[in-house]
A and B are shown apart, each in its own frame.
Chain A
Amino acid sequence: MPINSRFTRRSILKHTAQATALLAAPAILGRASLAGAQDSFAGESLIVVSWSGNHEQSFRESVVEPFNEKYGTKVETVGGWDQMIAQIKAAPADNPPFDLTIADEYTTSLGLAENVFLKTDRSGIKGFEAVSPWFDAHRGAARDYGVPFGGGSLWMVASRSSGIGAGSWKGFWDERAKGKTTMDAAAFYWDLCVPAILSDRKPGIDEVFDSPAEVEALFAELDKLQMAKWYSDGAELANILIQETAEIAMVYSADARGFMKEFGETHEIAIPAEGTASYTNWFMKVRGTRHPELSDLFLSYLLEKETQQRFLDNSTDFLSRTDLTPPAHWPDYPTTEEAIAKTFNLFSLKGWDAFGANWDALNDRMKQTIATTSRG
């Protein structure tokens, strides 16, 4: 074949176009190619919801900022609690207020009912192999959505001067604690978990998911308490402890690390020996997100060992990987499947279905408990 016929103008243009398409392919088709991600996503923004308060701060410092540093992105985290699904529902379907959101079992149940989450293709997310099977075990069909980053739980705070300690939930019923205890007035289902953990009638917190008549036994236990004040949020709880209005408190792990820093010298803060009630923190891709590939990259990053270790070192939430080193502030951090199952009694999606059916009756009953036990 004569040489001039091999390099016609048409063939040069054709080959140039093919080569360009080949070079651009990772960016066009597979922007999530992790090797080239540093360049592909530089400057791109993403909004991720984490739990408001101390959790949000830890998440920003341990996850978001290192991620932006690594990939040159503009990921932001905003705090939320119960309102995320409502915000997504209220926004246009193709322009959600955020791209990824944290979701516990209650938020997941609401989000799935409203169809605002996107399914996750696990083959595109690295790190699932290191995640504890405990996270999928109670998940049912919802496991198709999101990535399990970790979970939160109830912790106990006890003033050292009270002489009671945070080693057992029974401390709430100690004579010395009368009129000096505090629990959550709003999310009362967690309060019910405390007597349920102490009860032998059913395993874990299963009694909470019984009929109102059977849950009455748990209310009867709460009715024996004398509360200094039923708090309505973390800020109020902090004030109650600062003002020494209460000495024994139930706190969420999202806040427990902050309390350790603030009250560590004067208060003992721990998960009692009987174990605790817990929820899991999954990160869900929101329908209509305009950054699906960057979302996948961020979800993969959440499962990396370094990311999880950094977050664990800065928080009192538990993480989904089982190969992490217990941090100094939490030396008995559970790392085996057995220890995880023994320590964390999950308020599961199934549990929410059962509890949700009785919510109004139980909520009304809780108000009676508040009225009879409150001193504040």
Chain B
Amino acid sequence: MTDARRRRTGEALGFWLLLAPSLLLLVLVFARTVAGVVRMSFNGWTPPSFYVEDVVLDHYVRLATDPLIREAAFNTVVLAFQAALTSVVLAYVMTLIVWLRPKRFRLTVIGLMLCPLLASEISIIFGWWLVLPRNGLLSYMLVGSGLVSEKINLLYTEFAAFLGLVYAILPYSFFILLSVMDRQDRLLIEASADLGASPLSTFREVVLPLTWRGVVLAFSQALIWAFGIYATPSALGPDTLWTMGQRIQEEMIGRANWPLASAIAVAMIAAIALLLVVMRTVEPKERTA
């Protein structure tokens, strides 16, 4: 064996040894659980039991044919895409400001972005319940400032569900983008300006291409989170905003139909996996200055 080959073998061995503990954990905790959910989705169901050991496709057939499940899927996808896109745009602007401003300012913004992560989803929902209704803080502020003449109700609207989701996923987009932005050299902006580029051209030709990979990553993460969160749209949105998360909860807990709940979960996992594959294909190779 040549030295080069020996070195390559050693590096590969080291790589797998380093990876082994987390890989083992993933297989034991996640892969095993997901496999259990997949298996459950093929079981039969006879109420009032949770499931009957069997191998049937009934629940997948129902997924494809039940109009209410299709409506829930549509609502989930639309809401998740809107919230993920908005959160990435907002996070990008905030990250850019943090990246360009002095460190003192940076710490304040990072601290603020950490806040939603320190409180539970339920506590945040209670907060929105105080802010958004007709007799809530926002309504009083708008009337007090003279922007509107009558109290307004934003709670139990699609906008409230959207706002709640964006608030919940914004920190994830922000920190992903910040980690990518921090790796870029700020002198490139000065260099671009020295060469006569306008700020807009600098952003379009320099900053955006360098951070595009972060945008794609942040969007995929935000989308995954938005897909999975069910309490926020349920508690803030209108009565008719049925989502897949709610449907899983309803089937799993309320109806005790574990196979159907599992089939919905498997469909969502498959959708997310497909999305990640697509994202990976459009994700550009890393470009650094």
Contact = CB atoms under 8 A, between A and B. Distances in A.
Contacts, number: 69
A232 B235 contact: yes
B239 A230 contact: yes
Given A109-B48, A243-B129, A243-B155, 4 more contacts: A81-B253, A227-B239, A229-B239, A363-B255
A190 to B, nearest CB: 13
Interface in B187-246: 234-235, 238-240, 242
A245 B160 CA distance: 16
Interface in A62-108: 81-83, 85-86, 89
B134 A367 contact: no
A374 interface: yes
Interface of B: 47-50, 68, 126, 129, 133-136, 153, 155-156, 234-235, 238-240, 242, 250, 252-256
A235 B127 CA distance: 13
B136 A243 contact: yes
A82 B136 contact: no
B50 A359 contact: no
B135 A243 contact: yes
A113 B136 contact: no
Contacts of B238: 374, 376
A81 B255 CA distance: 13
A354 to B, nearest CB: 12
B48 A110 contact: yes
Given A86-B50, A113-B49, A229-B239, A359 B255 contact: yes
6 contacts: A110-B48, A110-B49, A186-B254, A239-B133, A243-B134, A371-B239
A306 interface: no
A114 interface: yes
Nearest to B136: A243
A265 interface: no
A82 B156 contact: no
Interface in A181-196: 185-187
What does DSSP make chain B's interface, helix, strand, loop or mixed?
loop
Contacts of B253: 81-83, 86
A332 interface: no
Interface of A: 81-83, 85-86, 89, 109-110, 113-114, 185-187, 227, 229-230, 232, 235-236, 239, 243-245, 352, 356-357, 359, 363-364, 367, 370-371, 374, 376
A323 to B, nearest CB: 35
Contacts of A244: 134-135
B202 to A, nearest CB: 47
Nearest to A231: B239
A130 to B, nearest CB: 31
A86 to B, nearest CB: 7
Contact of A367 (B135, B156, B242, B255): B242
Contacts of A186: 250, 254
A371 B155 CA distance: 17
Contacts of A85: 50, 256
B235 A243 contact: no
A376 B156 contact: yes
Contacts of A82: 253-254, 256
Nearest to B239: A374
A374 B240 contact: yes
A227 B238 CA distance: 12
B133 A243 contact: yes
Contacts of A89: 50
Contact of A359 (B47, B134, B135, B242): B47
Contacts of B49: 110, 113-114
B239 A185 contact: yes
Nearest to A236: B235
A113 B49 CA distance: 6
A86 B256 contact: yes
A116 B133 CA distance: 44
Contacts of A110: 48-50, 256
A374 B241 CA distance: 11
A236 B238 CA distance: 13
A67 B54 CA distance: 46
B68 A364 contact: yes
A376 B50 contact: no
B61 to A, nearest CB: 14
Nearest to B46: A113
Contacts of B48: 109-110, 113, 352, 356
B240 A232 contact: no
Contacts of A229: 156, 239
Given A236-B235, A239-B129, A364-B68, A371 B240 contact: yes
Top 6 nearest A-B pairs (CB, nearest first) are: A376-B156, A374-B239, A243-B133, A113-B48, A82-B253, A230-B239
Contacts of B133: 239, 243, 245
